[in-house]
Structure 1
Amino acid sequence: MIREDRFLISRKPYAIDLSSLRVTEPSPHGSVWAEVDAVWFRRRRGVTVACTGTLRDLQDATPADAHAFLAAHDDGRYGGHCNGRWDGERYWGAQEPFRMALDLELLEPMLAAYPAIPDGYDGWWTFQTA
């Protein structure tokens, strides 16, 4: 992934929580599943939505930090794994009230401040090359 200074929704950017890197135990071959928390905006049927979820990747070696993970994560075919989405009227995602409340606490102000990066996140990261 590459980091860009400006937001262009057409480039499908993500804002990343750089402190959220999680890594599984290495397999016998040394590869690991790694993931970071992320938020992003997308357009669905002409409506801008705010999403929260993760970016996950199988990597050859344990990344030292989130920057190393992002540098090695170069396959954006599947995009982020969305856990919650808010379009200003409807929420899609978790069905547990506590999780819904946490998601909406992040997504409602995020959509209202479009296209600002929420506090605690670093952006904008994209799979697309310049």
Structure 2
Amino acid sequence: MICEDRFLISRKPYAVALHSFRTDDCWSYIDAVWFRRTKTTPVACIGELRTIQRPVPANAEGFLQRYSDGRYGGDCRGRWDGTSYWGNVPLEQQERHLGILRPMLANYPAIPPGYDGWWTFQVGPR
């Protein structure tokens, strides 16, 4: 992935929480937020990026540098469109998600506090 200076929704960028990087026996994960567009309106999404990397990356920067397969995008856990929330998580987690997603959508396309970005798989003209 590469970090871009500006937000272009067409490149499907992600903002990541660098401090959230974690690994288990075979997967590496990092929490992320992103915008996607429905027919005409942007929606705010929250979830994680995950992949299998060998050797296991030492930190978030190593994970992002080697994360090169964007076919499936992020694993979305919650989405806010300005009027309704989508997500199959406990109510307490929905409330945490909405605490991030509501101001994120209201301040579109700003990166929410605590996140770093915009990271994308697509390389385009500068």
Q: What CA RMSD, in Å, does the superposition of the two structures yield over aligned residues?
A: 0.9
Alignment of 1:98 with 2:92, yes or no, is yes
Q: How does 1:84-123 map to 2 (within 5 A)?
A: 84-123=78-117
What does the per-residue CA deviation read over 1:12-60, in whole Å, with 9 as the maximum and x for residues that have no partner? 00000001111013xxxxxx31010000000012221000000001101
Q: Does 1:78 align with 2:68?
A: no
Q: Partner residue of 2:19?
A: 19
Are positions 1:63 and 2:61 aligned together? no
TM-score where L is the length of structure 1: 0.92
Contact 2:48 2:75 in 1 (8 A): yes
After superposing on structure 2, the runs of 4+ consecutive aligned residues of structure 1 that deviate more than 4 Å are none
Query: Distance between the aligned counterparts of 2:118 and 2:89, measured in 1?
Result: 29
CA distance in 2 between counterparts of 1:33 and 1:54 reads 12
Quote the offset at 1:95 in angstroms: 4.3
Question: Counterpart of 2:84 in structure 1: which amino acid?
Answer: R
- Give percent identity, aligned residues only: 58
Q: Which amino acid aligns with 2:18?
A: L
Greater fraction strand: 1
TM-score by length of 2: 0.95
The separation in 1 between residues aligned to 2:13 and 2:86, in whole angstroms, is 20
Q: Match of 2:22, as an amino acid? A: R
In structure 1, list runs of 5 or more residues that go unmatched.
26-31
CA distance in 2, matches of 1:2, 1:127: 6
- In the alignment, the residues of structure 2 paired with residue 78 and residue 94 of structure 1 have an alpha-carbon distance, to the nearest angstrom, of 19
- Given that 2:77 and 2:89 are in contact with CA atoms closer than 8 Å, whether structure 1 keeps it comes out as no
Could you tell me which runs of 5 or more consecutive residues in structure 2 were left unpaired when the two chains were aligned.
none
* Residue identity in the other structure for 1:105: G
Aligned position for 1:28: none
Other structure's SS at 1:116 match: coil
Q: Please tell me whether Structure 1 or Structure 2 has the larger radius of gyration of its CA atoms.
A: 1
Q: Aligned residue pairs: how many?
A: 124
